């Protein structure tokens, strides 16, 4: 099979590999689509550590091509989405249901203490408990189940209630998914700050009540003005210290600042302990997803509560990843989806 393999920082080689055999409790998935994430971008550039060689890609969907001896829940030909978070189910966090905080964190193609080969390949091995049936849903749409599940988890972390106000800094692919997830949870109003004209327009189309251009207005003033005061949740969907600071600045006393964008591992920021104490503002991180989050994401996609197709602006082959990462660095387009069958 062909696989797009990270061989070193900034180096990807498309190589021929033996088709893997599933273990007794695994399925082998023929990859129909795998969307590209900023985590992949960070791992490619070395800002997330990863041992090489490694096949990246953790937002996948495809067809079951082979099942292990102990698998009876799935059959060859089933269409599935892949949950890349593999919990140990033995540590204290897993036993509490916090599988995303597993002490033995394993990921299929994504960030983790242990990283297994992912879905930027024609086939990928997956534990049977980590796939969900998608019926006739398109693979492109199902490939957004993982990032959507992360958004579901983020909204839960923010403890949102219907009618709570939200400010979102950044309307890239994940910010636009987060916007739709907050809207499904009943948040109102939702104010989005975004530099790019097309992304602001799309944010308005996808449910933002107000969009602002941070080049024209100071978000720290414009978001509270548009929302009728500081917001209950200030969400940062970029991963930069200045924009995290902005999100916190617009968060109301008693509210939550959600750090949802992926920061550089070496990044630091100053916070005022007194302000946190006096204003009772929570800083909430949101990393990864739980099994339940993934199931909820599949349900939202199945019942058309999320516009996923609008966010997909490119379908690329296995050979095209380095160029796609370059375009991501320039904020060109939105979600890029690798379709292994489209490779040369």
pLDDT single digits (tens) 182-198: 999 999 999 999 999 99
How open is the CA angle 279-274-242, to the nearest 5 degrees?
Answer: 80
Name the percent of the chain lying above pLDDT 90: 92
156: Cα separation from own chain's centroid = 15
- pLDDT over 70 at 247, yes or no: yes
153 occurs within a structural domain: no
Catalytic residue (choose from 5, 39, 181, 291): 39
- pLDDT class of 262 with cuts at 50, 70, 90: confident
Mark whether 100 and 11 lie in a shared domain. Answer: yes
**Cβ proximity of 264 and 229 under 8 Å:** no
18 vs 343 pLDDT, higher one = 18
Mark whether 201 and 76 lie in a shared domain. Answer: no
Q: Count up the domains in the chain and report the number.
A: 2
Q: Is 52 a catalytic residue?
A: no
Angle between the N-to-C axes of helices 219-227 and 241-249, in degrees from 0 to 180, rounded to the nearest 10: 40
- pLDDT over 60 at 76, yes or no: yes
Q: What is the CATH number of the domain that holds 84?
A: 3.90.180.10
Mean pLDDT lowest for which of 42-51, 82-91, 202-211, 218-227? 42-51
Range of the domain at 323: 2-148+289-342
Averaged pLDDT for residues 192-215: 98
Model pLDDT, residue 266 = 85
154 occurs within a structural domain: no
**Cβ proximity of 164 and 233 under 8 Å:** yes
Q: What is the CATH number of the domain that holds 166?
A: 3.40.50.720
* Mean pLDDT over the full length of the chain: 95
Mark whether 62 and 108 lie in a shared domain. Answer: yes
Mark whether 53 and 185 lie in a shared domain. Answer: no
Looking at 285, 304, 330, which one is the last position of a domain? 285
Mark whether 100 and 235 lie in a shared domain. Answer: no
196 occurs within a structural domain: yes
Q: Is 42 a catalytic residue?
A: yes
Give the span between the Cα atoms of 162 and 194, in whole angstroms. 24
| The total number of residues written for the chain in this structure | 344
Mark whether 239 and 211 lie in a shared domain. Answer: yes
Tens digit of pLDDT for each residue in 145-191? 999 999 999 999 999 999 999 999 999 999 999 999 999 999 999 99
Catalytic residue (choose from 7, 13, 42, 99): 42
- pLDDT over 90 at 48, yes or no: no
210 occurs within a structural domain: yes
Structure token digits, residue 328: 């991501």
């Amino acid at each position: 099979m062909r696989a797009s393999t990270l061989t070193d920082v900034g180096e990807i080689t498309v190589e021929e590999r033996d088709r893997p055999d599933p273990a007794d409790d695994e399925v082998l998935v023929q990859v129909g689509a795998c969307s590209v994430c900023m985590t992949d971008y960070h791992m490619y550039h070395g800002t997330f550590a990863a041992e090489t060689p490694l096949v990246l890609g953790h937002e996948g969907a495809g067809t079951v091509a082979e099942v292990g001896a102990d698998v009876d829940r799935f059959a060859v030909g089933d269409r599935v989405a892949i949950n890349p978070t593999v919990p140990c189910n033995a540590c204290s966090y897993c036993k509490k249901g916090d599988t995303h905080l597993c002490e033995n964190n394993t990921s299929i193609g994504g960030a983790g203490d242990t990283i297994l080969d992912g879905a930027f390949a024609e086939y990928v091995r997956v534990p049977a408990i980590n796939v969900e049936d998608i019926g006739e849903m398109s693979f492109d749409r199902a490939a957004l189940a993982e990032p959507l599940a992360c958004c579901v988890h983020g909204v839960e972390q923010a403890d949102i209630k219907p009618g709570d106000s939200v400010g979102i800094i950044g309307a890239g692919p994940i910010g636009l998914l987060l916007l739709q997830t907050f809207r499904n949870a009943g948040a109102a109003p939702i104010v989005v700050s975004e530099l790019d004209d097309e992304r602001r327009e799309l944010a308005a189309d996808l449910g933002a009540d107000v969009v602002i251009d941070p080049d024209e207005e100071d978000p720290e003033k414009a978001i509270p003005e548009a929302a009728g005061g500081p917001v209950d949740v200030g969400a940062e969907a970029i991963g930069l210290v200045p924009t995290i600071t902005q999100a916190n600045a617009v968060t109301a006393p008693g509210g939550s600042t959600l750090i949802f964008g992926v920061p550089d591992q070496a990044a630091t920021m100053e916070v005022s302990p007194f302000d946190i104490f006096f204003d009772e503002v929570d800083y909430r991180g949101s990393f990864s997803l739980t099994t339940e989050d993934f199931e909820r994401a599949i349900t939202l996609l199945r019942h058309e509560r999320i516009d996923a197709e609008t966010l997909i602006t490119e379908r690329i082959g296995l050979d095209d990843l380095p160029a796609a990462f370059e375009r991501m660095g320039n904020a060109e387009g939105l979600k890029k989806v690798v379709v292994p069958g489209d490779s040369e």
